[in-house]
Structure 1
Amino acid sequence: MSSDSVQLSSKGNRPPRTILVCQNQACRKSGSKAVLAAFQAHRTSDIPVIGSGCLGRCGNGPMVLILPNEIWYSRVRAEEAIEIMNRWAINS
């Protein structure tokens, strides 16, 4: 896990709106490092974008999880980050 990653904590400790991008081994092999960089490049100040440990859906990565709604995105490509970020920055 890279230095900009955090472990997924219990629900009670999560920020109200957060975008998690898995940075575990399987997702990294599928390009999650570029996905995380794309989200961080386009993030808004009020929605944290965090590299996480394994989100438990190996084989479907790169995985992105939107909290607190628990909306899952699988096989995310870096170029999709802007669309996903805009959807959650506007609608959350």
Structure 2
Amino acid sequence: MKPVTPQLIPLLSRLYVAAGMLARIYLLAGLLAALAGRAPKSPALRALWWADAALCAADPATRIPLTIAVDELAARRDTVNSGEAHAEAS
């Protein structure tokens, strides 16, 4: 039985990328709306925009643990695969 983790990481990675893209689209839409003089008057939407801007600025740092986990998983998979190839050659 295969572990769930290797199958789950690509899904989480795709969701993480999609969320980042949607956040940047929201930032761009808010900026264009502000430049056009149609910025939302709602304090909640303005706070959400500023929170999104702050999180997008910190986004590269949040990707480090995910990148390390994927790299370690790939290294383990390569080690297991090379061990199986070595056992078959013997």
Question: TM-score over 0.5 for the alignment?
Answer: no
- Of Structure 1 and Structure 2, the greater helix share is in 2
Q: Compute the TM-score of the two structures, normalised by the length of structure 1.
A: 0.20
Q: Compute the TM-score of the two structures, normalised by the length of structure 2.
A: 0.20
- Of Structure 1 and Structure 2, the greater strand share is in 1
Q: Which has the larger radius of gyration?
A: 2
